[in-house]
Amino acid sequence: MGNLGVPELLIIALVIVLLFGARKLPEMARSIGKSAKAFKEETKGLRGEDKDEKAADQPQPVQQQQLPQAQPATPAEPPVQQVQTNGVVPQSVEQQQNKNA
């Protein structure tokens, strides 16, 4: 099985050309190349994740952190609520009371 020579490879190439046609071969080669490139990028990503996991397992040196300075307390304003009106103009409570009166 491992003894493929030049004549055998030429016969295999000829059969492939006859089966798929000369027009389809460049498209197939491009798609195989894109698939190989995507596979290579994914394996690089997996290798990078392995390195990150190993680095996370190792203890980190203890560093002193500076705390932010305290800010004086300021009264917070209540959040503004937005009402979905579906094209209707909202009226204030006073306008609604004047209508009802």
Q: Model's pTM, two decimal places?
A: 0.35
Q: Is residue 16 part of a domain?
A: no
Q: Is residue 74 part of a domain?
A: no
- What is the count of structural domains for the chain? 1
Q: Which domain holds residue 45?
A: 22-56
Q: Is residue 9 part of a domain?
A: no
Q: Is residue 63 part of a domain?
A: no
Most distant CA pair in the chain, distance: 103
Q: Output the DSSP codes for 55-66.
A: HHHSPPPP---P
Residue linked to tokens 């190989």: 36
Q: Is residue 73 part of a domain?
A: no
> What is the torsional sign of CA 69, 75, 77, 79?
positive
For each of the chain's 101 residues, which pLDDT tens digit applies? 578 889 999 999 889 888 888 888 888 889 999 999 999 999 888 877 766 666 666 666 556 667 667 666 666 666 666 656 666 655 666 666 777 66
Quote the tokens at residue 5. Answer: 């020579």
Phi-psi region of 70 (alpha: psi -120 to 50; beta: other; left: phi over 0): beta
Q: Is residue 26 part of a domain?
A: yes
